[in-house]
Amino acid sequence: MKKPFDLTFSVGPTQISQVVKDDIAHAVANNFLSVSHRGEDFTQISEMTVNALRQLYNVPEDYRIFFTTSATEGWEICARNLVEKEAFSFVCGHFSSAFAHCLNSWGKTCHEDVAPWGELNDHLNVDIPQTAELITLCHNETSTGVTVPDDTIQKLRQKYSDCLLAIDVTSSIGACNLDINQADVWYFSTQKGWGLPSGLGVMFVGPRAMAKSKAMLSKHLPQGFFNFTNMEKQMADGKYQTIQTPNILNIYLLGQQCKRLQQTGLQNVHNKTLVRASDLYNFFESHPNAKPFVEDPTVRSPFSLCIELGEENLTHYKQKASQQKIELGSGYGKLKKTHIRIANYPALTDTDFEILKEIFES
Amino acid sequence: MKKPFDLTFSVGPTQISQVVKDDIAHAVANNFLSVSHRGEDFTQISEMTVNALRQLYNVPEDYRIFFTTSATEGWEICARNLVEKEAFSFVCGHFSSAFAHCLNSWGKTCHEDVAPWGELNDHLNVDIPQTAELITLCHNETSTGVTVPDDTIQKLRQKYSDCLLAIDVTSSIGACNLDINQADVWYFSTQKGWGLPSGLGVMFVGPRAMAKSKAMLSKHLPQGFFNFTNMEKQMADGKYQTIQTPNILNIYLLGQQCKRLQQTGLQNVHNKTLVRASDLYNFFESHPNAKPFVEDPTVRSPFSLCIELGEENLTHYKQKASQQKIELGSGYGKLKKTHIRIANYPALTDTDFEILKEIFES
C-alpha cells in the first residue's frame, strides 16, 4: 500500500508525532516487544506507565488503573461490572448512544435522554430514575463535535451523588485536564488525544465502582474473566500485569507520552487546546463557505471540530488537501458528505494548522 | 529501561525477527498507524490480511475471519457465543484449564477431563456428555509442553461430529499447518508462533458456530457487543472492519507475515519446526543435566519445549545465558524454578539454536 497521506486531521486514529515514532523505534530496537508479560521487564514498563498516568491526572490512590484493549471494551466492562438491571445514558450522538446500545446488548435496561445532533443534553434538568445504578456520558462526542463543560459534570455529580457515574474521555484525554474525583469510572483508548497507535484502552476505576462489581460477583451475576476483582488481582502485589497478554508496545508509548505531557504541564496543554480551538472556530465562522456545525459556542468541542461545508465545497477542499497529501477527516454517519471533522490534539503543530487554514483560503 | 536481552527463547511474547522490525518501521514511516479504521485505507490493509490468512491456512469460504485483541478474548467470546449451559474441556495444563475457568466465570457448566501435568488426555477414550454444546482443547499446551497430534483431532472430530469443537492454536499457528475443516472455531493471538508483537487476536469461525451464536441471540441470551452477528456485520460488504478500533499495526504485520510464510510454503515451515524440535529433544535427552519434562515422545510439543533442569542447573544455565544477553524462558507456575521452556518458532534462526546448545555444552 502507498503512503496514504503526509498529514492527517482525522479525529482518530490521529496524526502520530515524530517523537512517538522515535519511541516506537526505541522500543523495537531494544526488544521491549519481546519481554514476557509475566516477567519483571514487563512489570517495569507497566509500573512506569501506571505511575505516570496517576501523576499526570492526579488519579486518587484509591482509584485502580486498568489496561484494556479499546474504549469499546470499556463499555462492555462497565455494562457487565456495574449494572444489574438499569442505567441512564446521556445521548448526543453516535458514541454516547453506543454505550446505551451496549447496555441493551447485555440485556440491561438503559433509560436515555437524547439531544438532537449538534446539541448537548440539558444534564441538570433531566429526571434520572432512582432505579438507575449508573449514569453514563461521553465527555467529547466526536460524531457531532459537542463537549460537556467541566462545571456541568461537577454539578451533575453533586445532584446525583449516590449514583455511579462513568465518563468516556476517549477523544479528550491527553489534550485536557480532568478532575478524576468527579466520576467513578473514566475510560478511553490511546489513538485520539494521546496521539498513539490504536489497540490499547485504559480505565480509572474508583472505590464505589470496585465495590459494586464485587457485590454483583457475590450475587453470582456472571461478569466473565474481565471483572474488576480479577483485573485488580493481576495488577496487585507490585505485578502490574493484565489478564490477557496486553499491547506491550502501546503501554510503553503511553508512559513516555505521559512523561512528556507532565514536563509541558497538563494545564498548559489544555490551555493551548482551547486557544487553538477558539482561533479555528473564529476562522470557520468568518469563512464564506463554512460554518461550525454546533451553534452554541459554549458546548462546541475544542478537541474535534465539526464543520459544515456542503457537498460541493467539501469535495473541493478535500481534493485540494489531498493534492498536498493532507487528509481531512470526514463527518460522521449522516454528516459524511457535507461536513468535515478536524482534530485539535497536541500531536498537531501550529504549522500544521497554518497549512490547514491555507487550504481553506481559496 | 535498559535493553533486557539481545535474543530470547521465551515462548511468548517471542523473539521478533529483523524483517518484522523492518515492517514496523515501514508502517510507521508510511503513516499506516494513522489511517481511519472506518476508511478505505484501513479496509485495504485489513482485506489484505484476511485474504492472506485465508490463503495461507486454506480457511474455507464459509468460515468467517475475525480480529480480536487476544486469545483470552477468544475464550470469552466462545463462552458467550457458543454455550448456553454446558461445555466439555480437555485439560492438560494451565491454558487448557483457563478455558474451563472462563466458562465457569460466565456461569456455564464445564465438564473436564484432566490429564496430569506433562501428559496428554486420552481424547478418544473419554465420555463426553451428550449435553455438552462445545468441546474445547488447546492444540499446544505451553505450560507443560504437550501437543495434541493431528490425527487425534481428526478422530475426535469424527467421533463427536455433532458437537461444536473450538481449538486454541495460540502457541502453534504460524509454525505449523492445520486442517481448518477439523474444528468449528480456531483462535489465537500473534505474539507466539507468528513472531509479532502482542495485542492482536484472530478467530476462524465456521458456519455451525455462526448458527449457534445466532440461535442464542434469537433466544435473547445476552452476548454483548462482541457477538458473531455483530462481528460479521462489521466485516461484511467489503468493509473488513471491526467493532472496536483495532490494533492496526498488528493487522498489517500479520498480513505481511502470512505472505512471507506463503512464499516459504507452510508445509516447509511445519517440517522445519519438526526437524528442529527432534534435534533439540535428542540434544536434551542425551544431556547429563537435563531431560524433557514430557516423557512420551509422541505428545511432546515441537513448538514449546519444556526441559527439566533442577534448581541448581537452572540457575547455572540461566546465568550463563544472561551473560551473553540471552533469555531462557522460565517454566510455568510450579515448574518455574526447576524447568525452562524453549520456543521453537520460525523467527528463531538455526544459528540461534547453535548458540543455545553452546550454552548447555559446559
A292 — pLDDT class (breaks 50, 70, 90): very high
For residue B236, pLDDT beyond 90: yes
Q: Is the CB of residue A248 less than 8 Å from the CB of residue A45?
A: yes
Mutation target to probe the A interface, by most A beta carbons within 10 A, among B18, B69, B170 is: B69
For residue B91, pLDDT beyond 90: yes
Is B45 in CB contact (< 8 Å) with chain A? yes
Q: Flag whether B2 is in a domain.
A: no
Is B39 in CB contact (< 8 Å) with chain A? yes
Look at residues A263, A278, A296 and tell me which one is the last residue of a structural domain.
A263
> CA angle A105-A108-A110, nearest 5°?
95
The answer to whether residues A202 and A153 belong to one domain is yes
Task: Kindly give the pairing relationship between strand A164-168 and strand A185-189.
Answer: parallel
The answer to whether residues B206 and B282 belong to one domain is no
Residues of A in contact with B245 (CB under 8 A): 12-13, 70-72, 189, 191, 198-199
Closest among B11, B43, B3 to B344, alpha carbons compared:
B11
Look at residues A263, A288, A323 and tell me which one is the last residue of a structural domain.
A263
| Residues of chain A numbered 179-218 and touching chain B (CB < 8 Å) | 189, 191, 197-200
- Interface touch A225/B102, C-beta < 8 Å: yes
Q: Flag whether B1 is in a domain.
A: no
Domain housing B322: 7-16+266-359
The answer to whether residues B275 and B181 belong to one domain is no
| Residues of chain A numbered 291-320 and touching chain B (CB < 8 Å) | none
B19 — pLDDT class (breaks 50, 70, 90): very high
The answer to whether residues A11 and A30 belong to one domain is no
The answer to whether residues B205 and B67 belong to one domain is yes
Distance, CA of B274 to CA of B256 (rounded, Å): 24
Q: Is the CB of residue A36 less than 8 Å from the CB of residue B340?
A: no
The answer to whether residues B189 and B281 belong to one domain is no
A72 — pLDDT class (breaks 50, 70, 90): very high
Residues of A in contact with B189 (CB under 8 A): 245
Using alpha carbons, list the distances in angstroms from residue B333 to A198, B95, B127, B138, B280.
32, 11, 29, 18, 23
Q: Which residue has the cell 493534492?
A: A323
The answer to whether residues A333 and A270 belong to one domain is yes
The confidence score (pLDDT) of residue B327 equals 97
Q: In CATH, what number is assigned to the domain containing residue A339? A: 3.90.1150.10
The confidence score (pLDDT) of residue B82 equals 98
- Interface touch A10/B36, C-beta < 8 Å: yes
The answer to whether residues A237 and A273 belong to one domain is no
Q: Flag whether A1 is in a domain.
A: no
The confidence score (pLDDT) of residue A193 equals 98
Q: In CATH, what number is assigned to the domain containing residue A180? A: 3.40.640.10
Distance from CA of A151 to the nearest CA of B (A): 30
| Residues of chain B numbered 49-88 and touching chain A (CB < 8 Å) | 69-73, 75-76, 79-80
Give me the torsion for CA of B306, B308, B312, B314, rounded to 10°: -20
The confidence score (pLDDT) of residue B209 equals 98
For residue B254, pLDDT beyond 90: yes
How do residues A180-212 score in pLDDT, each as one tens digit? 999 999 999 999 999 999 999 999 999 999 999
The answer to whether residues A130 and A279 belong to one domain is no
Distance, CA of B28 to CA of A130 (rounded, Å): 49
Distance from CA of A79 to the nearest CA of B (A): 9
Distance from CA of B43 to the nearest CA of A (A): 11
Distance, CA of B265 to CA of A119 (rounded, Å): 57
Distance, CA of B94 to CA of B88 (rounded, Å): 16
Distance, CA of A3 to CA of A9 (rounded, Å): 15
- Interface touch B244/A13, C-beta < 8 Å: no
Q: Flag whether B205 is in a domain.
A: yes
- Interface touch B244/A69, C-beta < 8 Å: yes
Residues of B in contact with A220 (CB under 8 A): 107
Q: Flag whether A150 is in a domain.
A: yes
Task: Kindly give the pairing relationship between strand A291-292 and strand A304-308.
Answer: antiparallel
| Residues of chain A numbered 3-22 and touching chain B (CB < 8 Å) | 3-6, 8, 10, 12-16, 21
- Interface touch B6/A31, C-beta < 8 Å: yes
Distance, CA of A304 to CA of A332 (rounded, Å): 12
How do residues B197-231 score in pLDDT, each as one tens digit? 999 999 999 999 999 999 999 998 989 999 999 99
The answer to whether residues A319 and A177 belong to one domain is no
Residues of A in contact with B33 (CB under 8 A): 13, 16, 197-198
Look at residues A210, A235, A263 and tell me which one is the last residue of a structural domain.
A263
Q: Flag whether B223 is in a domain.
A: yes
- Interface touch B69/A197, C-beta < 8 Å: no
Residues of A in contact with B29 (CB under 8 A): 3, 21
The confidence score (pLDDT) of residue B202 equals 98
Q: Flag whether B31 is in a domain.
A: yes
Mean of the per-residue pLDDT values of chain B: 97
Is B36 in CB contact (< 8 Å) with chain A? yes
Q: Flag whether A2 is in a domain.
A: no
How do residues A210-229 score in pLDDT, each as one tens digit? 999 999 999 989 899 999 99
Distance, CA of A72 to CA of B82 (rounded, Å): 22
For chain B, the 3-state helix, strand and coil shares in percent, each to the nearest 5, are 45, 15, 40
B362 — pLDDT class (breaks 50, 70, 90): confident
Distance from CA of A54 to the nearest CA of B (A): 19
Q: How many CB pairs under 8 A join A and B?
A: 204
For residue B13, pLDDT beyond 90: yes
Residues of B in contact with A35 (CB under 8 A): 4, 13
The answer to whether residues A221 and A299 belong to one domain is no
- Interface touch B249/A244, C-beta < 8 Å: no
Distance, CA of A226 to CA of B303 (rounded, Å): 29
For chain A, what is the largest distance between any 2 Cα atoms, rounded to a whole number of angstroms?
A: 64
Enter the ipTM: 0.97
Is the C-alpha dihedral spanning B326, B332, B335, B341 positive or negative?
A: negative
Burial class (CB within 10 angstroms; exposed 0-12, middle 13-18, buried 19+) of A40: exposed
Residues of B in contact with A48 (CB under 8 A): 1
Distance, CA of A175 to CA of A182 (rounded, Å): 18
The answer to whether residues B290 and B142 belong to one domain is no
Distance from CA of A125 to the nearest CA of B (A): 31
A362 — pLDDT class (breaks 50, 70, 90): confident
Number of domains chain A contains: 2
Mean of the per-residue pLDDT values of chain A: 97
